[in-house]
């Protein structure tokens, strides 16, 4: 028996298209069983979600403002460091330079 590769491709393509069509028919049948909300319910639920979103935003914004203000006042009332405390450091500053010195050699060639 001789197999035609082109024929096999057509059969696979038809099976795929049948599967897609069956899926779409099933989806359409399920959507008929959905209890869709009325226009009034949709408007009420939309306004409810928007109102609750604004209330939560205001609530979080209030606490953000309070905590930011409190933290800012605490940081501003901290004592400032004195220059004497900074000069008592035992470390050597980095700007003194390298302890290695390079001198040119004075050799003569003959």
End-to-end CA distance of the chain: give it in Å, rounded.
Answer: 97
- Token pair, residue 62, equals 């209030």
37 CB-near residues (< 8 Å, 6+ apart): 45
Give the model's confidence band at 6: pLDDT under 50 very low, under 70 low, under 90 confident, else very high.
low
- Specify the 3-state DSSP secondary structure of 109: coil
Cα atoms in the 13 Å half-sphere on the side-chain side of 21: 6
pLDDT digits (tens, 9 = 90+) for 18-57: 899 999 999 999 999 999 999 999 999 999 999 999 999 9
- Can you tell me whether residue 100 is helix, strand or coil? coil
In tens, the pLDDT along 46-100 reads 999 999 999 999 999 999 999 999 999 999 998 887 665 555 555 555 556 667 7
pTM over 0.85? The answer is no
């Amino acid at each position: 028996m001789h197999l035609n590769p082109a024929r096999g491709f057509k059969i696979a393509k038809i099976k795929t298209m049948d599967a897609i069509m069956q899926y779409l028919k099933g989806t359409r049948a399920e959507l008929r069983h959905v209890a869709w909300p009325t226009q009034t319910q949709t408007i009420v639920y939309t306004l409810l979600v928007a109102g609750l979103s604004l209330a939560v935003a205001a609530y979080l914004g209030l606490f953000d403002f309070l905590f930011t203000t409190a933290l800012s006042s605490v940081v501003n009332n901290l004592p400032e460091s004195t220059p004497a405390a900074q000069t008592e450091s035992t470390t050597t500053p980095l700007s003194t330079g390298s302890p290695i010195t390079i001198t040119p050699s004075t050799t003569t060639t003959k």
